Every structure is written in C-alpha cells, then in structure tokens.
C-alpha cells in the first residue's frame, strides 16, 4: 500500500515538474529575446517589415543621440535619453511687401475676362458703337458697376478719339491709367493698428459667415506678425461652433494668444476680455473675429453694436474691416450695405478673388461704401492675403 502511495506521489511530482517546464518555456518565448527584467517600459518598436532590419535598442539609442545633435552619433550606453515634448514650432509668415505681385497669377480668371477682353476690343481697327457696347458689357459682366462703367467708357472714348491711331502699347497705358483712376489710387489703404497710449490697436473684423472672416482674421494676424507686431486674437464668433478652434490654430502658428469664451457665450464679453488681455500682455494689436448672422438687421445691429461699445470702454477702435466674398457679386454689395448701416466700416477685405472672373467688384464695392479695399484674399494658403495696391492690381489684370 505504502509503495503504491509513494509511486503515485512520485508520478504526480514528475508530471508537475514537466508541465512547469513547458509553461515557463512558453512564457520565455513570449518575452522579447534580450529584454532585461529591470528595463523601464518602452513601447515596443513596430515589427520590421520585409526587407527592413530589426532595430535593436542600441540602434535606437544611437539614432536618438544623432537626432538631439550629439557628436558623431556616439551611442550613449545604458543612459535613457529623455526627449522633452517639442514646443510648437512657430512659423515665419512671408513679408507683406510685394505679395500682390507674387500672387498676381491667381487673378487669371479676371485677367482673361476683364483685362485681356478690354484690350482686345480696344485694339479693333474700327471702334464703332457696337464695339463700345461690347466694352461696356465686358465691364458690367466683371461687376464693375453701372456708374463706374459709364464713366470709364466715356473717358476711354474721349482719349481714343484724341489719340487717333493707336498702338497696342498706347492702348495698354491708356487703359491702365483709367482703371487705376477708377480704383482711387489716392485712398489711404493702410490697416490702422496704432492704438492709444499704452493700449494696443484694436481691429474688429465683421462680415457674413462663410465669406472668409475667420480665415482672414488669421491671415491678418500673420500679416501683422510678418511686420513685427505682436497680436492677441479675440474669438467673438460664438455662433459658429468651430470658429474659436479655427482662430486659435491660426494664432498658435505665429505665437498669438487667443481669448475665447464658452460656446454660445457673450461675444461682447469675449471681445472685452481680448482687449484686456492685449493690454496686460503689452501686445501691439488685438484682432476681434465676430459672428455675422444676417438674421435681421436689428439683431445684427444689436450684436455688433454691443461688441463695439464694450470694446470701446478700453479705448477707440482703430479699424472695422468688412470681409466680403468677391464671388457673391451683387449679393455681396447688398450685404455690404447692411453692414455699413450697422457699424462704421473703415476698410474692406475682398476674399476669394482667385475664384472669380469678376474682379471689377473691387471698384463697385468701394463706390458703394465710399471705403477703400485694404486687403484682398487670393487663395486658401496662410499667406494668400495681400495689401491692395491699385497699380499692381491693374497690371495683373492687363499684363505689364
Ligand atoms: P467665416 O465663416 O466667414 O469665418 O469663413 P471661414 O473663414 O471659415 O472661410 C470659409 C471658407 O472660405 C474656407 O474654406 C476658407 O479657406 C475659404 N477662403 C477664405 N478666404 C479665401 C480666399 O481668399 N480664397 C479662397 N479660394 N478661399 C478662401
């Protein structure tokens, strides 16, 4: 009996030992081959793909030291390399001078329908009534507006008559001069950001949602940073949920802080806080993005009026820029009229001129509001906002 019990015990011990060996050898197989037990947890590198060599920890250490700029890629034995999370890298926006010239090709559509179209018509041997009508139609189709079109045609007719025979160069010069005159070369197009004694310049950006208001505010921050100014952004467009995030992203790229409030919060209090922050930081300029709901004129007036009044508790505003989408043509002019009745617009930003053949809207909108176009948007890129220069604009339309 005792012998039987002893044999059973020996058998059990033997089975236990064998299964233990199997389990532990399985466990070993699951561990990476050379991982010492004291190594801190490292996210395992991705499995090497076919044709790639597996990277050993030593390779990793060498690569890391090369990345942090240690000489010669000397491997640092056993010393864990701590990499601080990178601070967001600031972008250096393009200088603003000459941007319109750089972006002139973007006006291709307006160039073909307005500039080249006019030159072709004016070059005809016989400038009869029909041709003058075609010239008029070309201007109207490009959204130049009725009154400016008539003025231009009248002046062109007179000068062509005086000129007699015309060379292509003479025609180009003549058309250039008349178009530039219509654009008001004498108008002051500087975006004012002086501010007061110890207070930043304050610019309010208004316009219907979708016109490119938030994008323009972001691009304008870059224009100012490019010109060496420090900027604080106020995200007072609390109507569109993503507007504050969008603005903050623009700001972060150039090191401008964004003041924002709760979703659907009070735009006026955010605008007020933004200027307060600007003063506290000693910033040069505060840019305030607003919501442009054209629900009712009274609603718009109440909202923008309140933002303006509240901001002005800190000091007067330097600019109220109206953003208009050039592709909306006459509809844009109607919007412009409504906004001009609600607040005193001091400058116009015409966006999306890269997407329209109707470059003449620049002339029409200035006439409509009696306010200069100060900036134009020529694309979705971060530096596709250019100070408006009548001469360079006309040169882009008709070619030098
Ligand atoms: P908001 O609602 O007025 O603030 O409009 P957003 O700033 O969000 O802009 C609406 C859209 O217009 C975005 O897709 C912008 O990238 C685009 N946009 C703005 N300015 C321009 C421009 O000058 N050219 C082009 N092609 N697109 C633009």
CATH of the domain at 329: 3.40.50.300
Pocket test for ligand 1, best of 236, 326, 350, 380 (most atoms within 8 A of CB): 380
- Number of domains observed in the structure of the chain: 1
- As a whole number of Å, the end-to-end CA separation of the chain is 117
| H or E element that contains 345 | none
* 28-86: pLDDT as tens digits: 333 333 333 333 323 233 333 333 333 333 344 333 333 333 333 344 444 555 544 45
Alpha-carbon distance of 5 to 357, in angstroms, equals: 102
Q: What is the mean pLDDT of residues 117-144?
A: 93
Which atom of ligand 1 is nearest the CA belonging to 379? 24
Does residue 380 have its Cβ closer than 6 Å to ligand 1?
yes
Give 264's pLDDT tier (boundaries 50, 70, 90): confident
In the chain, the DSSP E strands lie at: 201-206, 231-236, 257-259, 285-290, 319-325, 347-351, 373-377, 385-387
pLDDT value for 292: 83
Within a domain: residue 17? no
> What burial letters (b/e) apply to 80-89, b meaning 16+ CB within 10 Å?
eeeeeeeeee
Does residue 318 belong to any structural domain of this protein?
yes
- pLDDT category, 5, cuts 50, 70, 90? low
- CA-closest residue to ligand 1 atom 9: 212
Could you tell me the distance, in angstroms and rounded to a whole number, from the CA of residue 351 to the centre of ligand 1? 7
Burial class (CB in 10 A: 0-12, 13-18, 19+), 266: middle
Asked if the structure places residue 263 within a domain, the reply is yes
Per-residue pLDDT of 7-26, as tens digits, reads 554 554 444 444 443 333 33
What value, to the nearest 5°, has the Cα angle with vertex 236 and ends 233 and 241? 110
Let me know if residue 228 belongs to a domain: yes
Ligand 1 centroid vs 212 CA: distance in angstroms?
A: 3
Q: What is the pLDDT of residue 194?
A: 92
Binding residues: 207-214, 289-293, 351-354
Q: Which atom, in ligand 1's list, is nearest to the CA of 376?
A: 23
Q: Distance (Å, rounded) from C-alpha 15 to C-alpha 346?
A: 92
CA distance 274 to 260: 8
Instruction: Give this prediction's pTM.
Output: 0.78
Q: What is the pLDDT of residue 88?
A: 62
d(CA 356, CA 346): 24
Q: Which ligand 1 atom is nearest residue 219's CA? A: 20
SS3 at position 258: strand
How would you label 17-39 residue by residue, b for 16+ Cβ within 10 Å and e otherwise?
A: eeeeeeeeeeeeeeeeeeeeeee
The confidence band for 2, taking pLDDT boundaries of 50, 70 and 90, is low
Does 64 map to a domain?
Answer: no
Q: What is the mean pLDDT of residues 212-224?
A: 97
Domain boundaries, position 252: 201-345
Assigned domain for 355 exists: no
CB of 377 closer than 6 angstroms to any ligand 1 atom: yes
Mean pLDDT value of segment 118-140: 93
pLDDT at 80: 52
Looking at the domain assignment, is residue 219 inside a domain?
yes
Assigned domain for 356 exists? no
Residues comprising the binding site for GTP?
A: 207-214, 289-293, 351-354
Q: How far is the CA of 213 from the centre of ligand 1 (A)?
A: 7
- Encode pLDDT of 302-339 as tens digits: 889 999 999 999 999 999 999 999 999 888 999 899 99
| Atom 12 of ligand 1, residue of closest alpha carbon | 212
Q: Within the chain, how many helices (H) and strands (E) appear?
A: 15, 8
pLDDT (0 to 100) of residue 297: 73
Per-residue pLDDT at 156: 94
């Amino acid at each position: 009996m005792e012998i039987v019990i002893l044999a059973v015990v020996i058998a059990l011990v033997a089975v236990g030992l064998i299964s233990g060996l199997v389990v532990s050898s399985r466990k070993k197989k699951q561990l990476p081959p050379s991982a010492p037990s004291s190594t801190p947890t490292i996210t395992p590198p991705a499995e090497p793909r076919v044709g790639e060599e597996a990277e050993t920890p030593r390779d990793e250490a060498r690569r890391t030291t090369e990345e942090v700029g240690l000489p010669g890629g000397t491997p640092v034995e056993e010393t864990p390399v701590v990499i601080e999370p990178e601070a967001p890298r600031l972008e250096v926006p393009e200088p603003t001078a000459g941007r319109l010239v750089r972006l002139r090709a973007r006006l291709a559509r307006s160039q073909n329908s307005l500039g080249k179209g006019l030159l072709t018509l004016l070059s005809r041997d016989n400038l009869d009534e029909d041709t003058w009508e075609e010239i008029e139609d070309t201007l109207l189709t490009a959204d130049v507006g009725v009154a400016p079109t008539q003025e231009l045609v009248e002046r062109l007719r007179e000068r062509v008559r005086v000129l007699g025979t015309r060379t292509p160069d003479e025609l180009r010069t003549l058309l250039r001069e008349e178009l530039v005159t219509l654009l008001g070369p004498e108008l002051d197009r500087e975006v004012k950001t002086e501010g007061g004694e110890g207070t930043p310049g304050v610019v309010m950006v208004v316009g219907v949602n979708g016109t490119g208001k938030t994008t323009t505010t972001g691009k304008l921050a870059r224009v100012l940073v490019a010109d060496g100014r420090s900027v604080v952004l106020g995200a007072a467009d609390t109507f569109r949920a993503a507007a504050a995030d969008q603005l903050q992203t623009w700001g972060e790229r150039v090191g401008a802080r964004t003041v924002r409030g709760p979703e659907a919060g009070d735009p006026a209090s955010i605008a007020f806080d933004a200027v307060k922050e600007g003063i506290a930081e000693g910033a040069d300029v505060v840019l305030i993005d607003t919501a442009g709901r054209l629900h009712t004129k009274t609603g718009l007036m109440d909202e923008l009026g309140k933002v303006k009044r509240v901001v002005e508790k800190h000091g007067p505003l330097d600019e109220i820029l109206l953003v208009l989408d050039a592709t909306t043509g006459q509809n844009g002019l109607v919007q412009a009229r409504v906004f001009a009745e609600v607040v005193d617009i001091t400058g116009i930003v015409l966006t999306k001129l890269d997407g329209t053949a109707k470059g003449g809207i620049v002339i029409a909108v200035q006439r409509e509001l009696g306010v200069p176009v100060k900036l134009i948007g020529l694309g979705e890129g971060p530096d596709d906002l250019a100070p408006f220069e009548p001469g360079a604009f006309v040169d882009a339309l008709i070619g030098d």
